Structure 1
Amino acid sequence: MPLGTLDRTPPPFFRQGPSALTRLMFFSALALFLMVADTRFKLTQPVRAVLATALNPVERALRAPVDAVSAAGDYAMGLQDALSAEARARRELAQQAARSARVEQLEQENLRLRALLDLRPGLSVRSQTAEVLYDAPDPYSRKVIIDRGTQQGIAVASPVINEAGVLGQVTRAFPYSAEVTLLTDKDAAIPVLNMRTQVRSAAFGNSAGAGLELRFMAGNADVQVGDVLATSGVDGVYPSGIPVAKVVSVDRRVDTGFARIALAPIAQPDAVRHVLVLEPLGVQMQPKPEPAPDASTKPGTGSRRGTRR
């Protein structure tokens, strides 16, 4: 082949176009123009809206797993928070219930203390308050222990009352405590006065330890259900006029000639906490004055009669 027939033009791969600097300046100017045009004239806004609308389902599909995991985590955290809040609310409710019960108890105790304080000015004997500590360990008796003893001036035979009436009597005194035998004890007895008929009698604790009874009352005695019995004051221990019991039943027996009269104590010993301990009347009574010596006699010498010699 002759050399003149050869194509000496470079192939397309080696063809040279605009230089890199030229292309850089061109595309930079084009980008700047598009940015200015988009900012000033909003030219690309419709294109952007079309692209966003077309890509929205794809975006939602790609975000679905992420949203599901996030929702599951929020549900678990919300459930845990709800359970914690419920437990906290239950604890607060229990505390409020305990406080409410305590407030009611304090109100009842305050009322009893006020009643005791109102009762003290009406008593003509000295008294002091005491608190019931516990019941006596003997199951066959009705006795309680109070927190006052001989160091506080408590003496044996001191009456014990509350705002309702008589509770019992101190039977044993220790330095810092005392034992009180309640009226419902089987060995307890107290002289009483029927406030309706003004008839004196004696009330005794029954063997069951749940009430009292009037003994040795004639079958035709004027005693009715509902009669109120109070202390008569003839024993020198209890002040007169303090409520003791109320008649609840009268069984007039023809075969024995006596009536069986059941009483219910006015002061409920099982629901008492604060009491008044009174000084026995016998302790406060003035001693009986001794008779004055005869003026005609001298101390240490007897009277002598004259004799005739």
Structure 2
Amino acid sequence: MQANQPAFFKQGPKPLTRVLIFSAFSVGLMVGDANYQLLNQVRDKLSLALYPLQWLATTPINALIEGNDYLQQQAQLVSENKSLNNEKLAAKGMAMRLNALEIENAHLRDLKIASENAPRQAQLTKILYNSRDPFAAKLVLDKGQQNEISAGQIVLDASGVVGQIVRVQPLTSEVRLLSDRNHMVPVIVERNQLRTVVYGSGRHVPLEVRNMAPNVDIKVGDRLLTSGIDSIYPAGLPVAKVTKVERTTGNAFARIYSEPLAQIDQHRYFLILNAPAAPPPYPAEASAPKAKKH
């Protein structure tokens, strides 16, 4: 039976024998490779042959790792960018506030110098808001009766006259600006001491010098100062600068326009001059001499 068995039924060495043979062969290869590098060329060729399989096996994992790192870096960059933008905006806001404070401090220094050179003592005041009347050129200030403010006091800044106090309340007061339609100031031309009056024509509208002959000696660039003849405005305060003179043939009067020297719309702080001393009374009219009796 055994001699006549087909070839594919024939059995090889026993499993134990195979284990011993392959173990001895493996030990021999390890010893030979360790001492004589017998398998270096084989290893190199096998690594070359297996590299595509290794690349295919590791590429998805590497792609996931790199994608995760990329997303983390993007999230970190977005967070850092947002933080830097916030810091930039905060720095810009601080720079603008510092710039505004520098301008305000410079204006306050100018007001201090102006108060020292003013003809009377002055109080520092701050604008609270514009008047509620849209047709009037008025401002509301933060000084009132409790600060001994009274109607008629003069308001000015470092450059010139702002206006006059017309209404006083316990904590606030209202100043009528030079440009108000109901405001006029007696002035003189600094260059030649010519006396005249400057009138307001409305907020953001040039001031006018009215009722002057066409040949009047007033030029563009002339400065107008308070004349002091009204016993309200002290003499010599800057009021306005002539910007335009129209001398039209056939008109009875020249049209003279000027701009206030005070920087009314640029600052928040002004000076209020203390009230002047009471002016001397008008002289009494002399009575007519009595007729002599004959």
Alignment TM class, shorter chain as reference: 0.7 to 0.9
Between 52-61 and 197-206, the greater mean CA deviation after superposition: 52-61
Matched, 1:123 2:137: no
Residue 133 of structure 1: how far off its partner (Å): 1.0
Q: Return 5+ residue gaps in structure 1 as ranges.
A: 1-6, 8-16, 289-309
Matched, 1:277 2:278: no
Between 112-121 and 137-146, the greater mean CA deviation after superposition: 112-121
Residues paired across the two proteins, number: 277
Equivalent of residue 222 in structure 1, options 205, 217, 221? 217
Equivalent of residue 256 in structure 2, options 230, 253, 261? 261
Residue identity opposite 1:56 in structure 2: Y
> Match for residue 73 of structure 2?
78
Q: Percent identity over the alignment?
A: 35
Residue 256 of structure 1: how far off its partner (Å): 4.7
**2:50 counterpart SS class:** helix
> Match for residue 130 of structure 2?
135
Residue identity opposite 1:151 in structure 2: Q
Residue identity opposite 2:120 in structure 1: V
> Match for residue 164 of structure 1?
159
CA distance in 2, matches of 1:172, 1:98: 38
**1:83 counterpart SS class:** helix
Do 1:185 and 1:209's aligned partners in 2 also have CA atoms closer than 8 Å? no
Do 2:137 and 2:202's aligned partners in 1 also have CA atoms closer than 8 Å? no
Q: Return 5+ residue gaps in structure 2 as ranges.
A: 3-12, 282-294
**1:271 counterpart SS class:** coil
Alignment CA distance shift 1:244-1:36 (3 Å): farther
Which whole-Å deviations, capped at 9, do the CAs of 1:249-283 have from their partners, x for residues lacking one?
Answer: 12235545222211111113222211111113335
Residue identity opposite 1:102 in structure 2: R
Residue identity opposite 1:237 in structure 2: I
Which whole-Å deviations, capped at 9, do the CAs of 1:144-181 have from their partners, x for residues lacking one?
Answer: 01111111122211111111111111111111111010
> Match for residue 244 of structure 1?
239
CA distance in 2, matches of 1:268, 1:45: 94
Matched, 1:231 2:226: yes
Matched, 1:61 2:56: yes
Residue 29 of structure 1: how far off its partner (Å): 10
Residue identity opposite 1:95 in structure 2: A
Residue 138 of structure 1: how far off its partner (Å): 0.2
Q: What does 1:1-309 align with in structure 2 at a 5 Å threshold?
A: 48-207=43-202, 210-282=205-277
Which whole-Å deviations, capped at 9, do the CAs of 1:193-230 have from their partners, x for residues lacking one?
Answer: 11001112111101465221112222221111111111
> Match for residue 292 of structure 1?
none
Alignment CA distance shift 1:43-1:269 (3 Å): same
When normalised by structure 2's length, the TM-score is 0.79
CA distance in 1, matches of 2:125, 2:31: 98
CA distance in 2, matches of 1:236, 1:160: 15
Alignment CA distance shift 1:220-1:46 (3 Å): same
**1:186 counterpart SS class:** coil
Do 2:104 and 2:267's aligned partners in 1 also have CA atoms closer than 8 Å? no
Residue 124 of structure 1: how far off its partner (Å): 2.8
Alignment CA distance shift 1:129-1:41 (3 Å): farther
Between 191-200 and 93-102, the greater mean CA deviation after superposition: 93-102
When normalised by structure 1's length, the TM-score is 0.75
**1:270 counterpart SS class:** coil
CA distance in 2, matches of 1:126, 1:97: 40
